[in-house]
């Protein structure tokens, strides 16, 4: 099997719940898979955009926004949303060890539930408030760049668990993998700028950066690095940052 395709398949399997034919993948493929996280994100965003179009045709933009959100939840198995909820549950812990223990607990607490409700509600509200063409253009961008945001966290921080879902990238990622992910993100950014406007693209980038930085401030002081749940939260709040920045600009 072509190694680049194998790495893409590894990224697809890791980030989505959409099945692929049985493949012979190894740990090296999963370790290099982050190079394709933004590409997988673009595809997930395109599925969300298609759901948005159908929802708008059926019942208007509010239903369209819910349809787009539902499509991403189904495609990913709420993988990133689970990380967001676990992180917020852990933020109330008194120590690093207790925080890691809470985040590993599969049960959902009050803080996690509240954070999930607020973030998902804000996504729906923001998407329903955007002009139709802007919404379907921003969905692939937001999902692609927010996965790039998680890749940047992997590249610039350290994994703090002995084991876990993010263990394949516990030692960081190679420069080549980071370069491929960055190029994919840049292409998505330029395409959005050409399709919509350069100003809107820069606003979206500013929202992405604010979401990324704010999320890392929540966990890095206490943990000294990241877990898989933290990466999910980075993705979610980076995506939301794009939507809110665009709404604020409009």
**pLDDT (0 to 100) of residue 186:** 98
Nearest to 233 by CA among 130, 81, 119: 81
pLDDT (tens digit per residue) in 5-26: 889 999 999 999 999 887 778 8
Region 69-96 average pLDDT: 93
Using pLDDT thresholds of 50, 70 and 90, give the confidence band for residue 183. Answer: very high
**pLDDT (0 to 100) of residue 49:** 98
Would the pTM of this model clear 0.75, i.e. be above it?
yes
**pLDDT (0 to 100) of residue 48:** 98
Tokens at residue 233, please? 């939260």
Q: State the DSSP code for 227.
A: -
In what helix (H) or strand (E) does residue 168 lie, and over which residues does it extend? Answer: none
**pLDDT (0 to 100) of residue 109:** 86
Tokens at residue 125, please? 């509200």
Percent of the chain with pLDDT over 90: 76
Q: How far apart are the first and last CA of the chain?
A: 47
Using pLDDT thresholds of 50, 70 and 90, give the confidence band for residue 27. Answer: confident
Residues 6+ apart with CB under 8 A from 21: none
* CA distances (Å), origin 55, targets 39, 45, 138, 144, 195: 24, 15, 16, 22, 22
Using pLDDT thresholds of 50, 70 and 90, give the confidence band for residue 164. Answer: low
Using pLDDT thresholds of 50, 70 and 90, give the confidence band for residue 168. Answer: low
Q: Give the C-alpha separation, 83 to 78, whole Å.
A: 9
Nearest to 86 by CA among 245, 249, 228: 228
**pLDDT (0 to 100) of residue 163:** 63
Q: Give the C-alpha separation, 140 to 40, whole Å.
A: 10
Q: Give the C-alpha separation, 127 to 165, whole Å.
A: 30
Residues 6+ apart with CB under 8 A from 213: none
Q: Give the C-alpha separation, 71 to 75, whole Å.
A: 6
**pLDDT (0 to 100) of residue 167:** 58
Is it the case that residue 106 has pLDDT exceeding 90?
Answer: no
Q: State the DSSP code for 131.
A: -
């Amino acid at each position: 099997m072509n190694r680049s395709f194998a790495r893409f398949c590894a990224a697809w399997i890791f980030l989505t719940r959409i099945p692929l034919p049985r493949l012979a993948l190894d740990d090296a493929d999963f370790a290099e898979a982050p190079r394709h996280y933004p590409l997988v994100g673009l595809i997930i965003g395109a599925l969300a955009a298609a759901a948005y179009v159908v929802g708008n045709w059926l019942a208007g933009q509010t239903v369209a926004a819910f349809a787009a959100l539902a499509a991403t939840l189904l495609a990913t198995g709420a993988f990133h949303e689970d990380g967001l909820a676990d992180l917020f549950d852990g933020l109330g812990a008194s120590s690093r060890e207790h925080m890691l223990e809470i985040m590993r607990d599969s049960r959902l607490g009050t803080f996690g539930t509240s954070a999930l409700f607020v973030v998902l509600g804000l996504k729906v509200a923001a998407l329903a408030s955007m002009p139709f063409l802007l919404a379907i253009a921003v969905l692939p961008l937001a999902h692609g760049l927010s996965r790039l945001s998680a890749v940047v966290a992997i590249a610039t921080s350290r994994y703090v668990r002995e084991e876990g879902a993010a263990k394949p990238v516990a030692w960081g990622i190679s420069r080549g993998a980071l370069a491929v992910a960055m190029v994919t993100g840049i292409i998505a950014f330029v395409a959005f700028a050409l399709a919509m406007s350069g100003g809107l693209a820069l606003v979206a980038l500013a929202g992405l950066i604010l979401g990324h930085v704010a999320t890392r401030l929540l966990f890095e002081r206490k943990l000294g690095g990241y877990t898989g749940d933290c990466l999910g939260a980075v993705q979610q709040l980076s995506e939301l940052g794009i939507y809110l920045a665009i709404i604020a600009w409009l």
